[in-house]
């Protein structure tokens, strides 16, 4: 159980990358008063939590209705996460979080809590993929499902805390520190992604061998 929880927490934490949200929050909330910035951050976290919860509960049903097997989704999801990890390792902005066009549009919006903070910066395709994969791995085990929920809550709480003190974090570790930490998290995410792919391949081989 401990191993599963650590895997879930590492997967969610690395894909959301709370520290990586620091420069985004600072850029999008420039000119806001402290109360306005706090309101935007809390709203973005709540919205992201709702999105994650919805896909955690109904994600498996959605893909089952489309005829997508858990093995196929595990392999495809792992490949997607590996691409995100690859971008993190080389310091590139991943398209699964925010495209250049989305970034331009975000600068013209007054309310940035829904887009791009909640979606796709926190609850983007990578996060949604991860939560569905983790719920699928947990199966019907209530303890493991609870551990996934706790891991998601801890990740959201970390994101909230990081965004609230984003200015202080950037002053402490600087842009270079943020980039270094992002690369370390990218290595961890790459390992988790490959594990998802291997799990999918193993399950498919077992299914064919029956």
pLDDT, tens digit (0-9, with 9 covering 90-100), for 24-81: 888 788 778 889 999 999 999 999 999 999 999 998 888 788 887 778 878 888 888 7
Residue 123, in any domain of the structure: yes
Please give the share of the chain, as a percent, with pLDDT higher than 90: 35
- Residue 93 pLDDT level (bands cut at 50, 70, 90): low
- Residue 162 pLDDT level (bands cut at 50, 70, 90): very high
- List, in order, residues 6 or more apart from 59 with CB less than 8 Å away: 128, 131, 132, 135
**Parent domain of 69:** 2-205
* Radius of gyration in angstroms for the set of CA atoms belonging to the chain, rounded to a whole number: 17
Residue 210, in any domain of the structure: no
Q: What would the mean pLDDT of 161-181 be, rounded to a whole number?
A: 85
- Residue 97 pLDDT level (bands cut at 50, 70, 90): low
Residue 129, in any domain of the structure: yes
Q: Is residue 183's pLDDT more than 60?
A: yes
Do 116 and 28 meet the contact criterion of CB atoms below 8 Å apart? yes
pLDDT at 95: 53
Residue 20 DSSP code: G
Residue 118, in any domain of the structure: yes
Do 162 and 17 meet the contact criterion of CB atoms below 8 Å apart? no
Residue 79, in any domain of the structure: yes
pLDDT at 51: 95
**Considering the entire predicted model, what is its pTM?**
0.76
Mean pLDDT across the chain, nearest whole number? Answer: 84
Q: Is residue 152's pLDDT more than 70?
A: yes
d(CA 73, CA 55): 14
Domain count, the chain: 1
Q: How far is CA 112 from CA 26, 39, 109, 170, 209, in A?
A: 12, 11, 6, 20, 50
Residue 159, in any domain of the structure: yes
Long-range Cβ pairs for the range 167-175 (8 Å, 24+): 167/26, 169/19, 169/22, 170/22, 170/23, 170/26, 175/23
Residue 148, in any domain of the structure: yes
Tokens of 100: 């250049």
What's 133's domain CATH number?
A: 1.20.1250
Residue 161, in any domain of the structure: yes
């Amino acid at each position: 159980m401990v191993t599963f929880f650590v895997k879930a927490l590492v997967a969610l934490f690395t894909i959301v990358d709370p520290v990586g949200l620091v420069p985004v929050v600072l850029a999008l909330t420039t000119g806001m008063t402290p109360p306005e910035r706090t309101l935007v951050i809390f709203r973005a976290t709540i919205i992201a939590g709702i999105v994650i919860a919805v896909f955690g509960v109904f994600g498996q049903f959605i893909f089952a209705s489309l005829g997508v097997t858990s093995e196929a989704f595990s392999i495809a999801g792992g490949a997607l996460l590996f691409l995100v990890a690859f971008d993190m390792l080389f310091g590139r902005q991943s398209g699964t979080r925010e495209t250049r066009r989305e970034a331009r549009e975000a600068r013209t919006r007054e309310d940035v809590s829904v887009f791009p903070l909640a979606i796709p910066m926190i609850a983007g395709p990578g996060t949604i993929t991860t939560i569905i994969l983790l719920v699928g791995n947990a199966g019907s085990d209530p303890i493991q499902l609870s551990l996934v929920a706790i891991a998601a809550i801890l990740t959201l709480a970390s994101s909230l805390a990081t965004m609230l003190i984003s200015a202080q974090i950037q002053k402490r570790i600087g842009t270079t520190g943020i980039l270094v930490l992002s690369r370390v998290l990218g290595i961890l995410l790459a390992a988790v992604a490959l594990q998802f792919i291997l799990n999918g391949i193993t399950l498919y081989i077992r299914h064919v061998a029956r």
